[in-house]
Structure 1
Amino acid sequence: MNRTVPNVEAARTRKWVALLALIAGILVQALNQSTIQAALPTLSQELGANFTTIQWVLLSFQITLAVVMLSVGRLADMFGKRRIFIAGNLFFGLASLLCALSPSVYFLIGFRVLQSAGAAVVTVLSMAIVAEIFPDSEKGRVLGIAAGSNSFGHFVGPILGGYLIGAYGWRIAFFILVPCAVLAALLAARYLPALSPSGTSRRFDILGATLIGATMCSLSLGLSYGQLLGFAHVYVLLLIAASAISFVAFLYAERRVAHPVLDFELFRSRPFTLHIAIAALAGIATSGVTFLLPFFMQLALGLTILQVGFVMAIVSIEIALIAPAAGYLADRLGAHRVTLIGLATLLVGFLVASTSNLDNSQLGFLLRILPMGIGIGLFMSPNSTVIMAAAPATRLGVASGLIGLTRMIGQTTGIALLGAVFASNVARSAGMPVDVTDASPLAISQAFRLQFFIVAVVIGATLLWSLKSRPEKPA
């Protein structure tokens, strides 16, 4: 018995040390996402890339992430979560090194595809491994720690990245990810327990994943080329038509496979369908303005990348602090009601942000976008709660995956679609065809303000639509 107690304590200690490996992986991904978004204007200037092309540094990553995330669970079932998690970190580190060494923006976009594949593995398996190695009595605390780590990474990333990029150039943003990813892999190899493959016979819907990837890619390409060639150009029309055909084929195929990416049975629930659609629309609206924030701050307001990093970091931590309060309110008032409050706050936030102008100081601009962050924080968690509550207990995993996929599709569509709208409005404000990166601060400012009006209309329509949903009783 004396030997048993130390063994139990050693196993418990090892389990919590293993959490460090998972947290390291989560932090690396948060640093990557938050740093690169804040650095887009700098990347555009230093790589000589126009606004349309530089969007693909984000779009290539997001599209690949959405597609690969669908297959990670199956790979883990076949080869084991620990092995795939380690490989994912190492692959991410290698891809980050290639990104840092990219000789042009086109190489960078290609290497971001590889980087995203590794990121998808780490993102999906971090939570899956937590669920497997920790008992139910500790999962809540551990998942809270993991979420806090992600928030911390999104807070530190823009500031650290802003300082390093300002001092050493854009390549350092990718170089610093390499040792971090290797460290995460080493910690996982040393401390993660051997997690055997599940041996499940569940098949991966490769056709569905391919078709949804083709849909997102062709749509994004069509919207991007539309900025350069005009939306009536034959190539643009063909790409948009290809996107529509791929999407119809995806819907057709999903009804005929045993284990579809999209489970149509879930959409028999009206609250589920409505709130998934609301999540997509809100994702389009918010991503369509948040990715533009660094461009406005650097190109119009003339802020340094470090100053941009501070603003982006404050908004990130604001969202992270609001989210737990939104969960508490959802338990007290009902998740549907808090979703409505979040949408209403987001609407007000967009309208307030539309008052931004060239006379704003860094503080003045920050104060104008803080209400938007409050709205995002209030909306996301309660809306997901409604979706999960509407799903049958046997399909909670599928519903959770669908929330993530919807969020990815919304973000990708928002960047491509509203990026095209913004570029068009910049040219209209300038009175002549001009790239965003070469436009005057006044033209960028006018288009930026109009962009917030446009997304306010989208959110306003979404709010009216969500009022049709039958609210659940407060918990």
Structure 2
Amino acid sequence: MPTTAFPPSRRILAGLSLAVLLPSLSVSIVNTGLPTLMQVFSTPFSAVQWVILGYLLAMTALITSTGYLGDRLGRKRILLIGIALFCIASLLATGAQDITMLVMARIGQGLGAAAMTTLAMACVGEVIPKAKSGGALGLLGTMSAIGTTLGPALGGILIDTMGWQAMFWVPIPLAVLAWVLISRYLPGQTDLSRQPTSNLDIPGMCWLMTTLLFYTLALTLERGHYGWLNGSLLMLALISLAVLIAIERQAANPLLAVHLFQDPQFSSGLIASVAATTVVMAALVVGPFYLGRFFDLNSTQVGLVVSIGPAFATLTSFPAGRLVDRIGSARTITQGLSAMLVASALLVCIPASWRVLGYAIPLALLTTGYATFQTANNTAVLAHSQGGQRGLISGMLNLARNLGLITGASLMGATFAWVVNITGQQHAPTAARYGMQVTFAVATVLVLIALVSQMRVKHASPAKSSQENSSPHQAAIHQAANRHASDDPY
């Protein structure tokens, strides 16, 4: 009787839902805690940034290869290894004695999260009938969005009531439950690919990670005082990028479809995605420092304010898909970026007398515009892909989003720290406000560049836009695009 009330397929779906919830929760829950971690470990902002960056870099490095390994070695096996690694790394984070140990633990979390994020979605097809897979995938996307929305508020409450370690031990029992459910009820994979693992683009993976590492170090070292070291690292990042492109042109199974960048719609869509995600990540990294220092809010209050952004993004994703159906992706992209532009400008010029509302209202508008843009942009990029390339292009959309998250946490975070440092009053409330205003002045420029580039592409290829809106596969494309938007950390 209990099995009938809660059949194995639902238990599997519950385990997979937790596997998707935890990675998104682990990104957003730490944002609120960054100011506390700075105080606890007596470390500068440039060091505490790596609590986020280590996680994102590790996740980005493996997210394209875990699916490949799962197809060949067994999705259940790799997923369980990922959950176990995430759980062990979370336990190590709770006992971290210094910032270096905490960052290393976060890297371990990111490696496990890459497998959890990629393979939980892939495992749905093994237990859920095709006719019901859309609802199951929608549930996983919703769980990801819930994790992102709950993270900031939950992080703030945990810090104020139980200390910073609670941010890392609270996910452990959920990870154990996910491991037990998946281990016991998810069937083993019977359709393992016969393609040898040697076809995995290992050189591409290595050079991608090298490029991202040099790029991130260039933006975070020297505590915001940029000099020859930062310039040298940036040059190494450019050289690594050139090598990566050369390797990908020759790879049998490339991580990056370099030839697709010849399509203006594709290239401008990915560039705009990087810029937009950079701006939203800046709001969620810089926001806790600004709110805590300028308005003297505690961690719980900061978390509740910051949660407004992910909440509005979550509520916007589905209506944005309907808007794309009505007016097309090109116009929806313009509207989303325009909203982001207005919000970024408001964060620069809105009077301090508005107090917390002066941050909360622009943040809600910013993330609403972002969710609208991402849904439409994903639709536009996927609509111009061939069926056999859709998985590759989907991976590149994820890569562009993660690059934006890394840039927002590093470049925009470093901009805030640099401005605060040059005031000579690092802990003064006015320094935090000035740093926030300069950061979003830069953000305004980034969104403006993305908006102008998208409008130029729109006017240059009206025929393609019309063809996209009349595609017979548009419903499937919107479903995939909405799934990407729901999976987005913001």
With normalisation by structure 1, the TM-score equals: 0.92
Could you give the per-residue CA deviations for residues 190-237 of structure 1, whole angstroms, max 9, x where no partner exists?
A: 221222352231621111111111111111112211435x3223x323
1:222 aligns with 2:222: no
Distance 1:20 1:455 in 2: 39
2:65 aligns to what? 71
2:7 aligns to what? 13
Q: Is the 8 A contact 2:44 2:223 kept in 1?
A: no
Q: Is the 8 A contact 1:354 1:452 kept in 2?
A: yes
1:242 to 236, 247, 252: 236
Cα distance change on mapping 1:341 and 1:42 into 2, 3 Å? same
Within a 5 Å distance, the mapping from 1:398-437 to structure 2 comes to 398-428=392-422, 430=423, 432=424
Q: Secondary structure at the match of 1:347?
A: helix
Letter of the 2:292 partner, please give it.
Q
Letter of the 1:216 partner, please give it.
L
Identity, % of aligned positions: 28
1:296 to 279, 290, 296: 290
1:205 aligns with 2:201: yes
Within a 5 Å distance, the mapping from 1:313-392 to structure 2 comes to 313-356=307-350, 358-392=352-386
Question: Which is further off, 144-153 or 378-387?
Answer: 144-153
1:3 aligns to what? none
Q: Is the 8 A contact 1:303 1:362 kept in 2?
A: no
Cα distance change on mapping 1:285 and 1:365 into 2, 3 Å? closer
How many residue pairs are counted as aligned between the two chains?
460
Question: Which is further off, 266-275 or 20-29?
Answer: 266-275
Question: Which is further off, 465-474 or 59-68?
Answer: 465-474
Q: Secondary structure at the match of 1:49?
A: coil
Q: Is the 8 A contact 1:357 1:445 kept in 2?
A: no
Question: Which is further off, 369-378 or 279-288?
Answer: 279-288
With normalisation by structure 2, the TM-score equals: 0.90
Q: Is the 8 A contact 1:216 1:413 kept in 2?
A: no
1:231 aligns with 2:226: yes
Q: Secondary structure at the match of 1:291?
A: helix
Letter of the 1:227 partner, please give it.
R
1:447 to 435, 452, 457: 435
Distance 1:241 1:264 in 2: 21
1:167 aligns with 2:161: yes
1:194 aligns to what? 188
Letter of the 2:442 partner, please give it.
I
Q: Secondary structure at the match of 1:302?
A: coil
Deviation at 1:31, TM superposition (A): 2.0
Q: Secondary structure at the match of 2:250?
A: coil
Q: Is the 8 A contact 1:82 1:194 kept in 2?
A: yes
Distance 2:393 2:263 in 1: 12
Q: Is the 8 A contact 2:45 2:223 kept in 1?
A: no
User: What is the Cα-based RMSD across aligned positions, in Å?
Assistant: 2.0
Deviation at 1:167, TM superposition (A): 1.1
Within a 5 Å distance, the mapping from 1:262-273 to structure 2 comes to 262-273=256-267
2:488 aligns to what? none
Q: Which runs of 5+ in 2 are unaligned?
A: 471-490
1:135 to 124, 129, 134: 129
Q: Is the 8 A contact 1:307 1:362 kept in 2?
A: no
Question: Which is further off, 279-288 or 407-416?
Answer: 279-288
1:148 to 134, 138, 142: 142
Q: Secondary structure at the match of 1:292?
A: helix
2:19 to 7, 22, 25: 25
Cα distance change on mapping 1:227 and 1:361 into 2, 3 Å? same
Cα distance change on mapping 1:70 and 1:361 into 2, 3 Å? same
Deviation at 1:359, TM superposition (A): 3.9
Distance 2:145 2:277 in 1: 19
Deviation at 1:133, TM superposition (A): 2.7
1:259 aligns with 2:253: yes
Q: Which runs of 5+ in 1 are unaligned?
A: 1-5
Q: Is the 8 A contact 1:84 1:121 kept in 2?
A: yes
Deviation at 1:448, TM superposition (A): 0.6
Q: Is the 8 A contact 1:272 1:391 kept in 2?
A: no
2:100 to 97, 101, 106: 106
Could you give the per-residue CA deviations for residues 149-201 of structure 1, whole angstroms, max 9, x where no partner exists?
A: 11222222222221111111101110111111111100111221222352231
1:464 aligns with 2:459: no
Deviation at 1:11, TM superposition (A): 12
Distance 2:341 2:129 in 1: 41
1:181 aligns with 2:175: yes
Distance 2:59 2:411 in 1: 19
Distance 1:260 1:200 in 2: 18
2:476 aligns to what? none
Q: Is the 8 A contact 1:21 1:191 kept in 2?
A: no
2:487 aligns to what? none
